[in-house]
A = this chain, B = another copy of it.
Amino acid sequence: MAEIEDKLAELKTRLAEINDLGMAASLLSWDQLTYMPQGGAEARGRQMATLSKIAQEKFIDPIIGKLLDDLAPYAESLPYDSDDASLVRVTRIDYENATKLPPEFVAEMYTHLAASYQVWTEARPANDFAKVQPYLEKTLELSRKYSEYYPGYEHIADPLIDMSDYGMKASSIRKLFAELRDQLVPIVKAITSQDLADDSFLHLHFPENQQMAFAESVIRQLGYDFNRGRIDKTHHPFMTKFSLGDVRITTRVKEDYLGETLFSNIHEAGHALYEQGIDMALEASPLGGGTSSGVHESQSRTWENLVGRSEEFWEFFYPRLQTEFPAQLGGVTLERFHRGINKVERSLIRTDADEVTYNLHVMLRFDLELAMLEGKLAIRDLPEAWNSRFQQDFGITPPDNRDGVLQDVHWFGGFIGGAFQGYTLGNILSAQFFDAAQRAHPAIRNEMRQGQFGSLHGWLKDNVYRHGRKFTAPEVVERATGAPMSITPYIQYLKTKYGKLYSL
């Protein structure tokens, strides 16, 4: 037994060291995007690569595999949900994933994707798909090759999906998405046949310091802990962490649009509440992070949309917002404001899309990814496939590739496959978790009217956050909601909310 304890301690020490390298690399990246002077750029790229490389080398060390082997019987003797059993189980999966990939493939992929990203940054403004086409062809080839290192898959996209949404399969996602699409398309049609909501009052002048102060006060009230985090400004907002005690978010401000800082802060704070809520016992281990891209996104969307765009939330906050901006909002009723921040429209760009149409953007990409991986869609035919599907789902055709197939960075800086499904899985799960939380605490919506979010936050912490990566996404969903992933609560949520706003 003493030997087992020593081995477990050694495994934890090694994993903490690897974790520390990764966290340091994250700080290098955060600094690059917030405060680094331009002269630091060249060395910074090399420094981040060095730290990632050393972390990778230390992780694929056969000693880790041997420790995992030796600890397997002990781990299996423990309850499935104990920290130690989960550590050995999850680390084993990570280890198998990491060691199956030859270092030469990893190097080839990084080199190619860096070049591809560079070409895309020029091709997109130039609306030049031909320029990226050969890079995209190579990316597709490498994406397929990646999957080949994990034989035994059901669908060639599955190993790619595993990277961000472990435990989900192309088949299960396809089924969920097909059901969702059947329900969504009529809702979108019904809404967009009506008059557009007026949100002109969001596009007045709102001074930066006031926007920042208001958004900060909101996320503080939602439960974001500033003793274990902070906000800085970046070009694109994001959440990052350097330990469970240091979970930061970034934001940007548009003085001519009130919706930017506010909803972006709530979105990133949602991600941060997840990370801040992880059990401190999991610190510096592979378990000390969010479990999947879908579950992570479910939390940013819960706080941004289900809470931050709800009527109840604004019953409390709108008088405060009006006091902050009397000239701009003094004459706008709560009802008009609530309708304005929930404006639904057919638009070209995913990242600008509203809560209802957003999923159509995601599903389009997911289906095209599968078709490319299956060999049914060649890269040269991608723009046409994009535009025809867009016409089908949205009733409009993108005027150019810049705001069509070239709009997202994902395929140009990463694999084709597994890149997008997490966004919509997040939307689906946000409603499913919220629903379960409401069953446990029926007063949640009434508490929101008082600016109180403790019951919701507490339920999410107990049932989702604290577990970190101990359970896969399907396991967390089952444990937290008592059912497998389902679109029913999400469709119900959309129908109730938008039925009221648009009398569907």
Chain A positions within 8 Å of B, measured between CB atoms, are 16-17, 20-21, 23-25, 27-28, 31, 35-44, 46-47, 50-51, 54, 225-230, 232, 242-246, 248, 283-284
Residues of B within 8 A of A227 (CB): 37-39
Top 10 nearest A-B pairs (CB, nearest first) are A40-B246, A43-B243, A39-B228, A39-B245, A20-B50, A20-B47, A24-B24, A40-B245, A39-B227, A17-B50
Residues of B within 8 A of A16 (CB): 46, 50
Check A47/B31 contact, CB under 8 A, given A227-B39, A246-B39. no
Are B51 and A21 closer than 8 Å at their CB atoms?
Answer: yes
Residue in B38, B47, B228 whose CB lies within 8 Å of A23: B47
Given A20-B50, A23-B47, 20 other A-B contacts at CB below 8 A?
A17-B50, A17-B54, A20-B46, A20-B51, A21-B51, A24-B24, A24-B27, A24-B28, A24-B47, A27-B28, A37-B226, A37-B229, A37-B230, A37-B246, A37-B248, A39-B225, A40-B242, A42-B243, A42-B245, A43-B244
| Distance of A54 Cα from B54 Cα, bound (Å) | 9
Q: Report the minimum CB–CB distance from A80 to chain B (whole Å).
A: 28
Nearest CB in chain B to that of A18: its residue: B50
A-B contact pairs, 14 of them (CB 8 A): A16-B50, A23-B43, A24-B24, A24-B25, A24-B47, A27-B31, A37-B230, A37-B245, A37-B248, A39-B227, A41-B245, A44-B246, A46-B284, A47-B242
Residues of B within 8 A of A41 (CB): 245
Residues of B within 8 A of A35 (CB): 230, 232
Q: Report the minimum CB–CB distance from A220 to chain B (whole Å).
A: 13
Nearest CB in chain B to that of A40: its residue: B246
| Distance of A479 Cα from B263 Cα, bound (Å) | 61
Residue in B31, B228, B229, B242 whose CB lies within 8 Å of A44: B242
Residue in B27, B38, B248 whose CB lies within 8 Å of A27: B27
Q: Report the minimum CB–CB distance from A33 to chain B (whole Å).
A: 13
Are A243 and B44 closer than 8 Å at their CB atoms?
Answer: yes
Q: Report the minimum CB–CB distance from A133 to chain B (whole Å).
A: 35
| Distance of A402 Cα from B88 Cα, bound (Å) | 52
Residues of B within 8 A of A28 (CB): 24, 27
| Distance of A47 Cα from B35 Cα, bound (Å) | 21
Check A243/B40 contact, CB under 8 A, given A31-B31, A54-B54, A230-B35. yes
Q: Report the minimum CB–CB distance from A37 to chain B (whole Å).
A: 5
| Distance of A40 Cα from B227 Cα, bound (Å) | 9
Residue in B17, B23, B43, B284 whose CB lies within 8 Å of A246: B43
Q: Report the minimum CB–CB distance from A243 to chain B (whole Å).
A: 3
Nearest CB in chain B to that of A248: its residue: B37
Residues of B within 8 A of A284 (CB): 43, 46
| Distance of A243 Cα from B229 Cα, bound (Å) | 27
Residues of B within 8 A of A226 (CB): 37
| Distance of A242 Cα from B44 Cα, bound (Å) | 8
Q: Report the minimum CB–CB distance from A174 to chain B (whole Å).
A: 40
Nearest CB in chain B to that of A17: its residue: B50
| Distance of A38 Cα from B243 Cα, bound (Å) | 12
Nearest CB in chain B to that of A283: its residue: B43
Residues of B within 8 A of A17 (CB): 50, 54
| Distance of A112 Cα from B54 Cα, bound (Å) | 29
A24, A28, A227, A230: residue with the most chain B Cβ atoms closer than 10 Å: A24
| Distance of A208 Cα from B354 Cα, bound (Å) | 44
Residues of B within 8 A of A51 (CB): 20-21, 24
| Distance of A431 Cα from B272 Cα, bound (Å) | 54
A25, A36, A40, A284: residue with the most chain B Cβ atoms closer than 10 Å: A40
Q: Report the minimum CB–CB distance from A381 to chain B (whole Å).
A: 43
| Distance of A478 Cα from B475 Cα, bound (Å) | 71
